[in-house]
Amino acid sequence: MTAVQISANHVSLLGNYHEGNFGDDALLVACAALFKGQAQPLSVRGNIAYKDARLSGLRSEKNVTGSPNLIVYGGGTQFFSFNSTDTVPDPLQPRRKVLVQKLLSPSSVVSSIRTRMRRARLQHVPKIAIGIGVGPFNDAASAEVAAALLRRMAFVWVRDALSEEFCRSNGVENLVVSADLCFTDAFAGMVHRPRDRRQTGGQASRVGIILRDWGTLDARFFQRQIAAAQKLRTLGHKVQFLALSPHDEMYLSEMAAANEEVHVWNAEEDKLERFWEVIGNQDLVITSRFHGAIFSLLSRTPFIAIEIEPKLRNLRTVVPELAAFAVSPSVDADHLCTLAEALLAHREQTAPALERALSRQCMNARRGEQALATFLESEKGQ
């Protein structure tokens, strides 16, 4: 691929930073840490939901004069399609506008023209991806759209084996296989790891259950997890439900119907470390959220992954020692409780495996950081 030149330092970040999802908000903090001192200005496409002083240097792209010199897809699952009618979400592509609206509103025509002109300018701006997950795709057309965009990128850092396989099978060059951005030294240097306040010495074990809405799930899925929580409580454990997004409406509705309290991440009021501490203080986490597992591992907390999607299944390669405790979404309450009891009973034996897994992920993330730094330096010198 032909080398691209970055003549200045205006970097624009693309990601799901507007919804107030704990995982994406953590990724934004990681991106800000990675580009600290590298980019002036560092802007974000769209709004930023998470309110944090450490992000005060980030500016909305609409408030920055001129086009960016580098567009960065900043972590998380950026390219996917879940059914045949979905398209690959590319923030550079405009949404369809209603023709009648344009006819009735001359200002919308002007806006549309400006959007097209801006999009044309951005087509020639170098693009890279850092810490991304790719897929799943339910149709070949969507997969090819994503592959074509990735092939045009000057640098692609993927976080997992499934994304690596997709990129290699689709001829994506400039590929670096690393880890999630939350394992980077930059992220560790930006945040303060919460103190371990877990229970010791015969006290009741704490079990955190982190769930999410997903297209293939129905109310029965959440009801099975409620039944598991109730059984764990009868066995003497303290159980707490957590939500990484306030937009998981089915999950929160089912919990409310069962009179279950849920600790929900609030991007405007919470702080990352405070919510992370709630996750880390559990003795066991049961999660169908990818970053529920990531922050459990960062806390050296054993977890059971409910594999509702491919990136949850990919955790088997991240912590192979916990593969036997991974479960399908159809797992019944009794079996889930049996696994939870077994994992709680072997916490001391599991601790070294978690430490090794965390060390591997941090080492892999370091490889991505170093490759990114080398790329940025080489482009500045063009």
Mean pLDDT of 340-363: 95
User: Which of 119-133, 137-151, 342-356 bottoms out in mean pLDDT, i.e. has the lowest?
Assistant: 119-133
CA distance 270 to 278: 12
Residue-wise pLDDT for 162-199, tens only, equals 999 999 999 999 999 999 999 999 999 999 988 876 66
Question: How confident is residue 201, by pLDDT bands cut at 50, 70 and 90?
Answer: low
> Do 126 and 270 lie in a common domain?
no
CATH number at residue 67: 3.40.50
What's the pLDDT at 267?
Answer: 97
> Do 126 and 260 lie in a common domain?
no
With respect to residue 156, please indicate whether it lies within any of the assigned structural domains: yes
Does the pLDDT of residue 1 top 70, yes or no? no
**88 versus 274: which is more confidently predicted?**
274
> Do 317 and 372 lie in a common domain?
no
What's the pLDDT at 2?
Answer: 37
Mean pLDDT of 8-18: 86
**Helices assigned H by DSSP within the chain:** 22-34, 99-104, 106-122, 140-151, 161-169, 185-190, 219-234, 249-257, 272-280, 290-298, 310-313, 315-318, 333-345, 347-380
CATH number at residue 212: 3.40.50.2000
CA distance 82 to 70: 29
User: Which of 45-59, 147-161, 259-273, 354-368 bottoms out in mean pLDDT, i.e. has the lowest?
Assistant: 45-59
**How large is the angle between the packed helices 290-298 and 347-380, nearest 10 degrees?**
100
* 3-state percent breakdown (helix, strand, coil) of the chain, nearest 5: 45, 15, 35
CA distance 200 to 243: 26
Going across the sheet that includes 127-137, the strands are 58-60, 42-44, 11-14, 70-81, 127-137, 155-158, 175-177
Query: What separation in angstroms does the CA of 306 have from each of 133, 160, 185, 253, 300?
Result: 18, 18, 28, 20, 18
> Do 229 and 130 lie in a common domain?
no
> Do 210 and 250 lie in a common domain?
yes
Burial 224-258 (b: 16+ CB within 10 A, else e): bbbbbbebbeeeebebbbbbbbbebebbbebbeee
> Do 160 and 51 lie in a common domain?
yes
User: Which of 93-97, 140-144, 177-181, 331-335 bottoms out in mean pLDDT, i.e. has the lowest?
Assistant: 93-97
With respect to residue 328, please indicate whether it lies within any of the assigned structural domains: yes
Q: What percent of the chain has pLDDT over 70?
A: 84
The pairs formed by 352-356 with CB atoms below 8 angstroms and a separation of 24 or more are 353/319, 353/321, 353/322, 354/297, 354/300, 354/301, 354/302, 354/319, 354/321, 355/300
Does the pLDDT of residue 293 top 50, yes or no? yes
Angle, CA of 180, 349 and 317, to the nearest 5°: 30
> Do 157 and 285 lie in a common domain?
no
> Do 165 and 31 lie in a common domain?
yes
What's the pLDDT at 66?
Answer: 77
Yes or no: say if 122 and 70 are a contact pair by the CB < 8 Å rule.
no
Yes or no: say if 51 and 109 are a contact pair by the CB < 8 Å rule.
no
Q: Is the pTM of this model over 0.75?
A: yes
What's the pLDDT at 283?
Answer: 96
With respect to residue 198, please indicate whether it lies within any of the assigned structural domains: no
What's the pLDDT at 203?
Answer: 80
**Structural domain boundaries, residue 87:** 11-99+113-191+361-380
What's the pLDDT at 163?
Answer: 96
Q: How many CA atoms lie within 13 A of 348 on its CB side?
A: 3
Q: What percent of the chain has pLDDT over 90?
A: 70
Does the pLDDT of residue 150 top 60, yes or no? yes
Yes or no: say if 241 and 263 are a contact pair by the CB < 8 Å rule.
yes
With respect to residue 106, please indicate whether it lies within any of the assigned structural domains: no
Backbone phi, then psi, for 141, in 5-degree steps?
-65, -45
> Do 56 and 147 lie in a common domain?
yes
CA distance 5 to 73: 18
With respect to residue 82, please indicate whether it lies within any of the assigned structural domains: yes
> Do 16 and 88 lie in a common domain?
yes
Residue-wise pLDDT for 109-141, tens only, equals 444 444 444 554 567 899 999 999 999 898 899
User: Which of 59-73, 292-306, 350-364 bottoms out in mean pLDDT, i.e. has the lowest?
Assistant: 59-73
What's the pLDDT at 205?
Answer: 95
> Do 288 and 232 lie in a common domain?
yes
| pLDDT, the chain, mean | 87
> Do 26 and 169 lie in a common domain?
yes
Domain count for the chain: 2
What's the pLDDT at 5?
Answer: 41
